[in-house]
Structure 1
Amino acid sequence: MMVQEGQPQGRERPVRWSHVKIWSVAVISITFLSTCFIVSCVEKVWGCCPSTWKSFGSSCYFISDEEHFWSKSEQNCVRMGAHLVVLNTKAEQDFLVQQLNESLSYFLGLSDPQGNDSWQWIDQTPYTENVRLWHQGEPNFSAEECASIVFWSPRGWGWNDVFCDSKRNSICEMKKVYLS
């Protein structure tokens, strides 16, 4: 008896392409998931921000839509586990201003409590080592001991010294929560 090529002989079963496809998909999926798991275990870095906060770099930002004095704005940030924003780079400011309303002014975490041009960031970041993005001619009045970011046409966004007891919006900042 002659056996035709491609016919099963004895107990051999024919190869079904549907089984090959299923096993191929399973192997590829397991490989992909394993790779993702290994990468996440090695990096141990999944940074998260609260849902209403904006994410940039290693920080999360909350843009308040309520006006308060500088000290009350800081208290509100602290209550949320944050502080008034500390701007470290122009890129950070460029990101934030895209989220801001050009008709409003926002408190920064920058103040000059003695009014002697000794500006300090709320988180103790050295003022002299940080970016300084004051509007031209600012700061200009020693009684204005807090800083805000404000849009002035045609100059754009920049910092302005303001009275701490003026009511303004604010920006809070917290470090991202990292899950491992």
Structure 2
Amino acid sequence: MEMIYDDVNSANNKSSRCMGNQVTSSKRTKVLLIVLGVSLVLALGGLCVLGFMYISVSVKLSAQQTNGTTMARELEELTANYTNYREKFDALHNQHEETLRKLNRLNRMSSDLSLVQTSTGCALCAVNWIYSGGKCYYFSTVKMNWTQSRDHCVSRGGHLVIINSQAEQDFLSSKVKVTHWIGLNDLDTEGHWVWVNNQPLNDSAEFWMKREDGVSEPDNWTEGHPAGEDCASLGHPGGDTEIWMDAFCFQEKRFVCEAAAAV
């Protein structure tokens, strides 16, 4: 009996040890499962975090691309606006420069006018023109042929001088030291002298050079040119400025322009 009891106790001890081993294994499995579950949860959480991060990065990249496209579009618009405003600015600048040029021309025209006091009031002559007897006179500093001189006087608002009196002749001769063209010619009809206003020469107001041998001006000298001398000049090439002479119209001389004075 005692042996049987020992056997039973031994069996019970073995059974208890097996059950203890089973309990320990079961606990370990549960712990492992819990650890695996926690790991899965953590892994899932990590995946979720990574997913959110991926979505966030994707959104940011998309936003950056959108912003980049928007910025590029805005840059193009700014460039177009700049070009447009630049063109407008250049147009306004050119208009401003042209306006300044016009203003300067007007200022020069205004400054070119000078008042000359006369016995009857104030007469208006352009600068470099000289007032006398109700007229303004311009004495050139350059030489031209007769036709060019006539046209130049017209471009200045006058005409080659027309001499109608001894007083006018004396005034002009006192102002020149060399020969000058005047507005007298016989280009159309030889010997028929007319002024540039088509008025014929008045015999009571003519100042041709007189010679002692009787050969006086105009003599239509043809030596050197068969067409002869068809244009009149104030003064002799030798220096006498108180007389008229006929001359070749193609010769270059200084000239006198005349214009009415504004009062």
Q: Verify same fold: TM over 0.5.
A: yes
Q: Does 1:59 align with 2:135?
A: yes
Which residue is 1:145 aligned to?
230
Q: What is the identity percentage for the equivalent residue pairs of Structure 1 and Structure 2?
A: 30
Distance in 2 between the 1:78 and 1:154 partners? 27
Distance in 1 between the 2:237 and 2:252 partners? 18
Can you give the 5+ residue segments of structure 1 that lack an aligned partner in the other structure? 1-42
Are the aligned partners of 2:234 and 2:241 in contact in 1 as well (CA < 8 Å)?
Answer: no
Q: Does 1:97 align with 2:173?
A: yes
| Matches for 1:34-53 after TM superposition, within 5 Å | 46-53=122-129
My pick for the range that moved more, 147-156 or 166-175, is 147-156
Give the counterpart of 2:197 among 118, 123, 133.
123
What RMSD in Å do the two structures reach over aligned CA positions?
2.1
Q: What is the aligned length?
A: 133
Distance in 1 between the 2:196 and 2:231 partners? 11
Are the aligned partners of 1:110 and 1:121 in contact in 2 as well (CA < 8 Å)?
Answer: yes
Higher relative CO (CA 8 A, sep ≥ 6), structure 1 or 2?
A: 1
Give the counterpart of 1:69 among 128, 145, 168.
145
Per-residue deviation, 1:126: 3.0
Are the aligned partners of 1:115 and 1:145 in contact in 2 as well (CA < 8 Å)?
Answer: no
Which residue is 2:253 aligned to?
168
Which residue is 1:157 aligned to?
242
Structure 1 length as normaliser, TM-score? 0.68
My pick for the range that moved more, 140-149 or 127-136, is 127-136
Distance in 2 between the 1:59 and 1:115 partners? 29
Structure 2 length as normaliser, TM-score? 0.47
Per-residue deviation, 1:125: 3.0
| Matches for 1:24-43 after TM superposition, within 5 Å | none
Runs of 4+ deviating beyond 3 Å? 151-156
Give per-residue Cα distances to partners, 1:75-119, cap 9 Å, x unaligned.
110000000000000110111111111xx2100100001352000
Are the aligned partners of 1:115 and 1:144 in contact in 2 as well (CA < 8 Å)?
Answer: no
Distance in 2 between the 1:152 and 1:83 partners? 23
Can you give the 5+ residue segments of structure 2 that lack an aligned partner in the other structure? 1-119, 211-215, 222-227
Identify the structure with the greater helix proportion: 2
Query: SS at 2:150's partner residue?
Result: helix
Distance in 2 between the 1:67 and 1:153 partners? 17
